[in-house]
Structures are given as C-alpha cells and as structure tokens.
Amino acid sequence: MSRLVLEHLHCWYGQTHAVDDLSLVVEDGELCVLLGPTGCGKTSTLRMIAGFVRPASGDIYLDDRRINDLYPGDRNIAMIFQSYALYPHKTVREQFAFPLKASKMSAQEIEKRIQETADFLHMHEFLDRYPAELSAGQQQRVAVGRAIIRRPKLFLMDEPLSQLDARLRVEMRATLRRLQQDLGITTVYVTHDQLEAQSVADKIVVMRSGRIQQVGSPLEVYRHPANIFVASFIGSPPMNFLDCRLERRGGQIFVRNDHFVFALEPALAQKVENIPPEKRLVLGIRPEHIQLSPEAKASAIPAEVYVLEPQSNELVVDLKLGDLALKMQGDKREMGFRPQLGQTVWMEFQQEHLHLFDKNSEVCII
C-alpha cells in the first residue's frame, strides 16, 4: 500500500519558477502521468519526489510519512529512466542481484527474489544474457525487473519509451501498462507525448509553466478540457479554435463570427444564457466531431476542401473557410463520399462535443 501526496510544492532554478504551488494525490496502485511540453515542470516534480531536488517549500508524503528530509536511497522509490541505464557488462541475473547485494541481503533470499522476478517477467531464458544480446522490449523488462526486485513503494518513470521507434513504442506502452497493473505499484510517469499519456494513465496531470492545468482521467481531459491549453494539447490533429460571439434572436441563441452563424441546441443554449453578447469567445471543435456532406444543408456551413491527408482507415480533410483553416477527421467508410480538392462541402459540428472558451481567460465555459 502506498499513497503519494504532494502539498504546495515549489521549485526554483535561479529566477525560474520551475514548479509553482503543485498539490497532487496519487492513490495506491494508480498510474499517474505528468504530461506537458518541455519546461512545464514535470521532470522537476519527479526529481523532487525522488529526492534529487529539494523543494523550495511544500511537503511530500509517502504513506502519510513526510519524506522531504530522507535521502533518495532511503525513500524506497525505484526509478526507470529514458535509457534504461543497464550495466552493459552484467548479465540479467547480475543486474537483478545488484541492488539487493548493495542492501546486504542473504544470498538465499537474493536467489529467491531473482527467480520470482524472472517468473513474473517471463525472463528465465534470458537470465544469463547481456543487455547487448536483448531486444529493446527485453531490455525494458530487465530495467523493470531491477526496479521491482527491491519491492519499492513507488515507481518513477521518466520518458521510459522515448528511445524506442514509433512502432515499438506503441507496443511497449501496452506491455508496460499491463505490467504496472499486475504489480499494483503506485507509479508516477513523465512524458511529453499526449497519446502515450492517454494510453497508459489512470490519471493525467496536464502541466504548463510549472502549474497544473488539469487533473483527470484520459477521457476527462479529452472530453472536458479545463482550458484552451489542455484542449489543444490533448488530441491529434488538435482541436479547431474559432473566435466567435453569441447572439440572441427569436428565443434562440446563435454562435456567430464573420464566416458563419448557427443556432445552439436548447441544452447548450441553456448553459450560456447568462453570457453577455459582447463577450469574446472561442469555439472549440475537434476534427473528429465535424461532419461533412457534399450537399447543401440549411444548418450546415460551406467550406472548401484544401488538403486531403489519408490516415489509414481515416481521412484528415483540411478545410478553408474564408481566411480560417479547419481540420476534420473521419472514417473513410462512414463519410459516405470522397471529398475532392477544391470541392465545396457542408460541415456540421456535433454540438454535444462543442466547447466554448472565454477568449481572455482561456477557461472553458462549456
């Protein structure tokens, strides 16, 4: 059982406020991903948890015990790095044994744990091989094995898949996810790759400039982004953003900009009733929530097909609407027609997936 609690952590590098008042709870057995672009403070946070960096202020608790003042080696935390940092001249068996020998465990107990770990990771046949004789996936398992053999309370992983090629990364993330679930070890995982984050996480913490933007399940941060930053960071191709205002006419509420106007469905209209018409808003709609039709429809907005990008069974269509550019994405089989370059098509937004943001604060309204 281990639960990690971070309270009001701050970290400074000179004049740079690398982590700014970060509070977070990672529940027992949970895999929590710290996600954000370079410089967002995710790795600094990880280093504070590991004990490599001292927070300027704030507390770190592991199982209700404050660990701020413990040395990294005394925190019972295991780390897995980008390059697995395996000892090149040691066999798998020796890699596994090394951290145990350092803690002066009996030879018998060490052998027992090596066998258990090899069982768990299906590594028996590789115990006498050197890292150079192993595939990338096997090396990863060795790194995991070396970390779990100590039975740590907490796993910290810093971009553990970033060295692998795209194909292997997609495969290894599922393996890693399953392994962590089987082990049930509380894990904090750092990545800049939003697809990887969605794939492995129970909980995603989206960070920017040292501050938490949103904490939620992969589905929550995708469906209900807290602000424009999260909305644009999660999902690929990214959400389309269009400046707009609201307009009231004949008991209905319309979304308007220079290029289009459409009526909000009653459920949405209700939510924006109190927004004054002069308020500057940003409409957000994801490429997968735009529908295209080759024929004119009353409620639809005409646009021009600008670029076509096939994407496996899907098609990404770049659309031009005056000086605005949008992307839509759809399953080729379900689109019902093949858009042609230069063609005028009619697009409709799936309103249950439509977002409105405050242009000034960038905070999500609906």
Q: How far is CA 320 from the centre of its chain?
A: 30
Query: Closest by alpha carbon to 232, among 198, 203, 196, 194?
Result: 194
What is the C-alpha separation between 240 and 256, in angstroms, rounded?
Answer: 16
Residue 198 near other proteins by CB under 8 A: yes
Structure tokens at 309: 């990008």
Binding footprint of other proteins, residue count (CB under 8 A): 41
- Binds other proteins (CB under 8 A): choice among 88, 166, 298, 323: 166
Cβ neighbours of residue 151 under 8 Å, at least 6 residues apart?
none
Work out whether 170 is an interface residue with other proteins (CB under 8 A): yes
Could you identify the residue written with the tokens 């040292």? 210
Establish if 219 lies at the interface with other proteins (CB under 8 A): yes
Give the footprint of other proteins on residues 270-289 (CB under 8 A).
286, 288
- 158: contact with other proteins by CB under 8 A: no
Q: How many CA atoms lie within 13 A of 160 on its CB side?
A: 31
Single out the residue of 194, 196, 87, 185 nearest to residue 143, CA to CA.
87
Minimum distance, C-beta of residue 316 to other proteins, in the bound complex (Å): 7
Hunting for tokens 């935390």 — which residue is that? 77
Return the residue of 88, 273, 312, 323 that touches other proteins, per CB under 8 A.
Answer: 312
| 82 counts as binding other proteins under rule CB under 8 A | no
User: What does the per-residue mask of binding to other proteins show for 108-147, with x meaning CB under 8 A?
Assistant: ----------------------------------------
CB distance 100 to 117 below 8 Å:
no
**Region binding other proteins by CB under 8 A among candidate stretches 13-21, 41-49, 161-169, 205-213:** 161-169
- Cis (ω within 30 of 0) for the bond into 237? yes
Summarize as ranges the residues that interact with other proteins (CB under 8 A): 37, 165-167, 170-171, 173-175, 177-178, 181, 193, 195, 198-201, 217-219, 222, 234-238, 286, 288, 306-307, 309-313, 316, 318, 327, 331, 341
